[in-house]
Amino acid sequence: MKNTILVVGSVALDSVETIHGRTNRGLGGSAVHFSMSASQFAPVRMVGVVGEDFPGSFRRFLKRRNICLEGMEILPGKTFHWKGRYDRDFKNATTIATHLNVFEHFKPKLNCDHTECGVLFLANIDPDLQWEVLKQMGKPRLVACDTMNYWISLKRKSLIRLLSRVNLLFVNEEEARQLTKEHNLIKAARILTGMGPQAIVIKRGDSGSMLFYGGEVLAMPAHPIEKVVDPTGAGDTFAGGFMGYLAASPDWRNINVLKRAMSYGTVMSSFSVEDFSVKRVGRLSKPDMHDRYKKYVKSLSIV
């Protein structure tokens, strides 16, 4: 199972409003957006928790995408529900309501198959929970994690302990600066690698992303999109494409493999913003994905 990805994170019902419309209780959550993207490349096993209100249609939808749901626990109560609104330029999201519901008591439980997965992605949850998951694992060949400013402020020591055991860290610009207390992103990435991860990916929204690995710095632009409908989960979708490609590769430590992973992550996130929830990624075909990838890579060539 060295190419199988285990992802542990949130499963949610999102109600989102943008200038192009709204969706009510759509399928969302970090683990879901990640899994929908990663499953284009490799088998995915998802660990999360939902309430009794989680639609059976969503469960069937995820299973059709080569996502194993044996680790998705159902508890009495309601599913995590986030309600938000984006401004006209999509730079800022205003949270209208956050109902943690059963997610508030989430305690990840791994079975034997989970512990033998070769690739582990710890999505944005409490770093103490991420640590407990990591302790249950066998010997994964690749461990990556995501985090957020809330955990950096509240549980900095727990997060730093976790980083000593991961290979790859995903953060955005503000999180990188907050965690390192360094404004310059190149210097911040150098500090982060000193904490443990061999590779750092800094997500920069519509400005693209940056990869720091082995002394090399790679910056990639976002794929241009004519109409952004809903950016919710774009970062998780990026991480899913990135990690999915690495899981399908024999040696993730090769810089050229990491560059291609960056490109596929960028392409996958560009699809995700074209519709609400996971609708666009859900109907994405592999030929469409590879076609956009080829066009994107071609656009990066400098004559």
Task: For 186-239, write each residue's pLDDT tens digit.
Answer: 999 999 999 999 999 999 988 999 999 999 999 999 999 999 999 999 999 999
Predicted local distance difference test score (pLDDT) of residue 302: 57
Predicted local distance difference test score (pLDDT) of residue 303: 45
Residues facing residue 159 across a β-bridge: none
Say what percent of the chain tops pLDDT 90: 94
How is the beta sheet containing 142-146 ordered, strand by strand?
67-75, 44-51, 5-8, 119-122, 142-146, 168-172, 199-203, 209-213, 216-220
164 with 135: CB under 8 angstroms?
no
Amino acid, res. 24: N
Give the pLDDT mean for 24-30: 97
Report d(CA 81, CA 143) in Å as an integer.
28
pTM: 0.96
Mean pLDDT, the chain, rounded, equals 96
CATH, domain 5-11+28-47+109-298, list 1.10.3720.10, 3.40.50.720, 3.40.1190.20, 3.40.50.2000: 3.40.1190.20
- Listed in sequence order, the residues at least 6 apart from 246 whose beta carbon sits closer than 8 Å to its beta carbon are 119, 142, 252, 257, 258, 261
Report d(CA 184, CA 176) in Å as an integer.
9
In the chain, domain spans: 5-11+28-47+109-298
Report d(CA 257, CA 264) in Å as an integer.
11
- Cβ neighbours around 267 below 10 Å, total: 25
